[in-house]
A = this chain, B = another copy of it.
Amino acid sequence: MPAFHEIDHVAGDPADFQDPAYREAVVDLLGAISYGEISAFERLAEDAKMAPTIRDKVALASMAAAELGHVGRLHERLTELGTDPFDAMAAFIEPIEKFHRHTAPSDWHEGLVKAFVGDGLAADFYREIAAYLDAATRDLVIAALEDTGQADFVVDRIRAAIAAQPSLAGRLALWGRRLMGEALTQAQRVAADRDALTALLAGGVDRPGLDLAALGRMFARITERHAERMAELGLAS
């Protein structure tokens, strides 16, 4: 996670909720994160079936449960904002399901890399957006993205697998690139559809936003951290 001073940081404040566009953007964001976690739960629980041992299965299942554990607080907040959480999630079901359909792991190791890299990418992206939010919403988003506590487990398993079978590294590196590509495709699709979210990043009358240069820096930070994660796994990015 980057320190906050690295982010082009312009936090809103609670008064922002008077602005319907701001409120809509927050509802979108919490809805997207909620459905992302529900969907991550489903996929991780499914991938856990491919685990070679019960120990490994429990580790992946615990990541799944941790994802779902964040949803309750996000839904409470959506309800406080006067929105049905399930309505808030509706627009994000298709892009998130599409992401998963296009990145269905074909074996245990692809599942592990997806859990680690996918979770990291989503967290980085939402954290960047969180910098444009009021403090209470930002804290909520950051708590919801808390890491699922199994990163060491994934790194350990992938490094051991590559040591035992070096040819795996090439395939998994390609897989990491595919995950990144598909995530960008779906994020772009969401950006095109959800004006309020995009407007949040672009700023408003009384709220400075990202200019093109800042957007470029944000993108650079996200890809850089993706490369760091791949390196941690012993993979080229």
**Residues in A lying within 8 Å of B, measured CB to CB:** 38, 41-42, 45-46, 48-49, 54-55, 57-58, 61-62, 64-65, 68-69, 71-72, 86, 89, 93
Contacts and interface: CB of A to CB of B under 8 A. Distances in A.
Nearest to A41: B61
Contacts of A93: 54
Nearest to A54: B86
A116 to B, nearest CB: 19
Number of copies: 2
Which of A55, A58, A61, A62 gathers most chain B CB within 10 Å? A58
Contacts of A54: 38, 86, 89, 93
27 contacts: A38-B54, A38-B58, A38-B61, A41-B45, A41-B61, A41-B65, A42-B45, A42-B57, A42-B61, A45-B46, A45-B61, A45-B64, A54-B86, A54-B89, A54-B93, A58-B68, A58-B71, A61-B68, A62-B68, A62-B71, A62-B72, A64-B65, A64-B68, A65-B65, A65-B68, A65-B69, A69-B69
Contacts of A69: 65, 69
A93 B86 CA distance: 37
Contacts of A86: 54-55
Residue among A46, A49, A62 having the largest count of chain B Cβ atoms under 10 Å: A62
A9 B26 CA distance: 54
Contacts of A42: 45, 48-49, 57, 61
Contacts of A48: 42
Nearest to A48: B42
A230 B57 CA distance: 33
A70 to B, nearest CB: 10
A92 to B, nearest CB: 11
A57 B38 contact: yes
Contacts of A61: 38, 41-42, 45, 68
6 closest residue pairs by CB, A with B: A45-B45, A65-B65, A65-B68, A55-B86, A61-B68, A41-B61
